[in-house]
Chains A and B, each alone.
Chain A
Amino acid sequence: MATRRIIPCLDVKDGRVVKGVRFSGLRDAGSPVELAARYQEQGADELIILDVSATPEGRGHQVPTVEAVRAVLSIPLTVGGGIRTIDDAAALLEAGADKISMNTAAVARPGLLSEVAARFGRQCTVLAIDAAAVEGAETPSWEVVIYSGKQRPGKDAVAWAVEAEALGAGEILLTSWDRDGTRSGYDLAQLSAFSSAVQLPIIASGGANTPQHMLEALEAGADAVLAASIFHDGDWTVAGLKRYLMERGVDIRPPEDDHTQEPMP
C-alpha cells in the first residue's frame, strides 16, 4: 500500500522561486535547484514546480530549470504552468519532468488531458483545479477559477474533476482559491467533496500553515499534501512534518535518516 505523500511546491518566476499570496506581491525565495535538493534531503516524496512567469521571456527559463532540477532530483517531479499543447508537455518531459500538470488550457480544451494521457500515460497526466467557493450557494459548492484568478467561467469544480477522470487524468492537484496563501488551513469540506466524487488521488493545496492542517487534510481524504511557504520560511522541515504525522499514525515514508530506526514489520 502506497504511503501518503508530502510534496513541497516551488512557484518559479523567471527562473527563481518566489512566494506570495495569490500570485501577487511575490518575493524571491531562492534557487530552484538548491531548494529541490534541500527538500529531497529532508524526505520530500515528490516535488512540484509551477511556473508563474507572466511573460514568454520568463517562461523561457522553464526547460533549463527542469533540466537543472532533474540532474539533482531522484524523486518524482511534476511540472505545471503555461502548458497549452502536447508539444509543451513533451518538451518538459524530455527535460526531466515525470508528470505534467495542466490547468487553464485543460478547461479551455479538455481533450488536452486525453491527448497527454494517450501519448504519455495516465500516470503522467495531472489536472490542477483552482476551486473557489460559490457564494450564496445552498449546499457548499465550488467553481473553477482560471487564468490565475482572472476568470470564473461558471464551471462546477467537482463535476470538472469527474469529467477529467473519465478523460484520462491520473491525479488532481486541488487548490482552494479561498485559502491559498492565507495560512488558515486547507478547505476540508472541499477535500471531502472531491475525494468522494473521484477515485483519483487528490493532492491538497492552499492554506497550510501547521502540521495539524496537513493531518486534517489527509484525514479528510487527501492522498498527498502540497505546501510551499511553510517549508520555504523554515517553520517546518519535511522531516519534522513527517515525524509529526507518523507519531499520529499516518502511513508515511520515513525521512531518509530514519530508515535504520524503523521497526521491522
Chain B
Amino acid sequence: MTTAPQDPVSIGIVQTATANLASVLAGLRRAGAAPTFLEDPADVLAFPKVVLPGVGAFGAAMGQLRKAGLVDPLRERIQRGLPTLGICLGLQLLCDASEESPGVEGLGLISATVKRFQGDLRVPQFGWSQVSPGSEASFFREGYAYFANSYRIDVAPAIDAGWEVATAEYGGPYVAALRKGDVVACQCHPELSGTWGHDLLTRWCNAPQQEGA
C-alpha cells in the first residue's frame, strides 16, 4: 500500500521573552511538524497544537505572556485539554507561583510553587539525567533527557492534581515531565534529548487529536 506523503503537522509556538527557539523549531521539524510563531492571542485557542517553550526567568515570561494577552487563552486551552506542549520554563509556568519570582502569579493549573534545588547541589544543573516513568503504561519512556534548570516542581502536588508524572533525581526526585491527555510538559528539553526527545516530540506532534477536544 502506498500513501501520499503526509502534510506536516501545523504547530503554533508561543514566544516568551528572550527564549532561544532555533533548537525547538529544528526539533519539531525533525518530528515532522511545521512550526510557526503565534502572533494573535486568538490563535492560541485556534491552533490544533501549541508549544509553550521557555528559557529565562518565571516573572519575565509571565510578564511577557500578560502583555501579549496570552494568559487567559493559554489557561483556557490547557483547561480544555487541547494539545499543548510546555518545555522547561513552559512547564513551570503551569504552576501557581515560583520561588524565582516571588509575588508573580503563574497560570495556576498545578497547585504548586516551583522551588529552587535545595542543599549542597551545583545549581543550575546542566546535563543528562535518567527519566523514570511512573508506570509501564506511561506516555513517557525510560531513558536519558537533557536538563538545564535551577528550579523544579515537587512530585506529590503534580500527582495530586491528576497529572501523570515522570521523575528525575537531583538531591531527591522532582518532576521531569508530566501529562494529562494531550497536554504534555517537560522540565527537560526534548529538542536536545537525542532519541528519547525525538521519540517524545514525534509521538506528541503526530498523535491524532482526541475526540471532543
Contacts and interface: CB of A to CB of B under 8 A. Distances in A.
Interface of A: 1-3, 5, 40, 45, 70-77, 93-98, 119-124, 170-171, 199, 201, 223, 253-254, 256, 259, 264-265
7 A-B pairs with least C-beta separation? A2-B127, A96-B22, A123-B148, A253-B128, A253-B144, A93-B20, A70-B26
Contacts, number: 87
Given A95-B22, A96-B23, A76 B146 contact: yes
A74 B148 contact: no
Contacts of A75: 146, 192-194
Given A71-B29, A74-B193, A75-B146, A98 B126 contact: no
B113 interface: no
Interface residues of B, number: 34
B132 interface: yes
Interface in B70-112: none
B122 interface: yes
A43 to B, nearest CB: 8
B129 A1 contact: yes
Nearest to A119: B18
Contacts of A73: 26
Main secondary structure of the interface of A (DSSP, over half): loop
Interface of B: 18, 20, 22-23, 26-27, 29-30, 55-56, 122, 124-130, 132, 142-144, 146-148, 169-170, 191-195, 197-198
B195 A256 contact: yes
Contacts of B144: 3, 253-254
Contacts of B147: 2
7 contacts: A3-B144, A70-B22, A71-B29, A98-B23, A123-B126, A124-B20, A171-B126
